[in-house]
C-alpha cells in the first residue's frame, strides 16, 4: 500500500517544507497548537488546533511551508487518488464509495475540525512507534474522514458552550495528572464543576472514548514510552502508571500491543 503517515514537531526558526504532489490527497492534522500554512509563498492561512486540512490538485504540484510554536506537533496522511478509489470501491462498508466522486474534479480543498474519534486516533499515533499499530491507524483515519455521509452521529448540545468544552479539557488534565492516584469520575465532576452525566457525555464526544477507557489507554501509552527508555523494570513501570497488580498491567499491555512488556522490550533490540 502507498499510504504515507508522517509525524512532525516544530523546531524554532525551522519551518517544515512539505511537498504537495499532484494526483495525491494530502491531509494535515493539527493537534494542540495553531499552525501557519503557506502555499507556494503566496497565501498563508491559519490551521487551528485540533483541525485538519485536506488538499487535492489533479494537475499541479505545490510547495507548502508549515510553521508554528516550538514543540507543536502535526501529522500528515498522503494517499494517491487511485489508491483511495480502490479502497472506496472494495466493498468496505466503513468507507463511502460516493466520496470518490468528489475528487473527479480538478481540485478539492476541505477544512474541518477533528472529531472525537479522529482526535483519539491522532493521540494513539503520537504515543506509539509500533509499526503494525501505525499501519492500522492509517485506515482508521481514512474510515473516519470518508465515512458514509448519511450516518447519523450524535453531537452533544452541551458542548455548544465554550466554557463547558474547557471544563472537559480541564477534567482530562486532572485525570492524567497523577496516574498513581487518578481521581474518580465523582471527584472529577466536583473539581471541574460539571455534573457526572455532562462530564461523561462531553468527554466521550471530545476524546472519542469513555473516561476510564481513555485513562487505561493513556497509562499503557506512558508505559510503552518508559519501556522504550529501558530505565525501569516492568514492576516499577506498572506501579508508576497506576497498576497495583503487575499481572493486570501485563495483561492490559498485551491486549493493546499484542506483546507482553518483556517481549516488547526484546523486540526493540
Instruction: Express each pLDDT in 70-88 by its tens digit.
Output: 989 899 999 988 787 666 6
Least confident of 11-20, 88-97, 191-200: 88-97
| Residues 118-139, mean pLDDT to the nearest whole number | 88
Domain ranges of the chain: 4-145, 157-208, 213-267
Instruction: Express each pLDDT in 135-179 by its tens digit.
Output: 889 988 988 887 654 434 445 555 656 778 888 889 999 999 999
Confidence of residue 97 (pLDDT cuts 50, 70, 90): very low
The vertex-25 CA angle with 20 and 27, nearest 5°, equals 80
CATH architecture observed for domain 4-145 = Sandwich (2.60)
The residues with which 73 forms a beta bridge, in sequence order, are 9
Least confident of 9-13, 83-87, 145-149, 258-262: 145-149
Confidence of residue 94 (pLDDT cuts 50, 70, 90): very low
The sign of the torsion formed by the CA atoms of 139, 142, 146, 151 equals positive
CATH topology of domain 213-267: Arc Repressor Mutant, subunit A (1.10.10)
- CATH fold match for the domains 4-145 and 213-267: no
Residue 130 has pLDDT above 80, yes or no: yes
pTM for the model: 0.55
Amino acid at each position: 500500500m502507498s499510504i504515507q503517515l508522517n509525524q512532525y514537531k516544530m523546531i524554532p526558526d525551522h519551518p517544515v517544507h512539505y511537498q504537495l504532489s499532484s494526483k495525491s490527497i494530502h491531509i494535515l492534522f493539527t493537534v494542540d497548537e495553531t499552525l501557519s500554512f503557506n502555499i507556494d509563498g503566496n497565501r498563508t492561512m491559519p490551521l487551528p488546533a485540533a483541525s485538519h486540512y485536506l488538499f487535492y490538485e489533479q494537475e499541479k504540484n505545490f510547495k507548502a511551508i508549515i510553521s508554528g510554536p516550538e514543540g507543536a506537533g502535526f501529522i500528515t496522511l498522503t494517499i494517491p487518488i487511485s489508491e483511495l478509489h480502490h479502497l472506496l470501491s472494495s466493498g468496505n462498508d466503513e468507507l463511502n464509495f460516493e466520496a470518490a466522486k468528489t475528487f473527479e474534479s480538478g481540485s478539492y480543498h476541505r477544512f474541518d475540525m477533528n472529531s472525537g474519534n479522529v482526535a483519539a486516533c491522532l493521540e494513539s499515533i503520537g504515543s506509539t512507534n509500533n509499526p503494525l499499530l501505525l499501519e492500522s491507524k492509517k485506515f482508521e483515519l481514512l474510515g473516519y474522514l470518508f465515512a458514509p455521509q448519511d450516518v447519523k452521529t450524535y453531537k452533544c448540545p452541551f458542548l455548544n458552550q465554550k466554557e463547558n468544552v474547557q471544563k472537559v479539557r480541564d477534567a482530562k488534565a486532572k485525570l492524567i495528572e497523577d496516574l498513581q492516584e487518578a481521581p474518580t469520575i465523582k471527584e472529577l465532576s466536583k473539581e471541574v464543576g460539571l455534573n457526572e452525566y455532562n462530564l461523561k457525555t462531553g468527554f466521550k464526544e471530545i476524546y472519542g472514548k469513555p473516561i476510564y477507557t481513555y485513562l487505561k489507554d493513556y497509562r499503557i501509552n506512558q508505559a510503552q514510552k518508559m519501556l522504550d527508555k529501558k530505565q525501569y523494570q516492568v514492576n516499577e513501570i506498572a506501579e508508576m502508571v497506576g497498576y497495583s497488580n503487575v499481572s493486570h498491567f501485563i495483561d492490559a499491555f498485551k491486549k493493546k500491543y499484542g506483546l507482553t512488556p518483556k517481549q516488547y522490550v526484546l523486540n526493540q533490540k
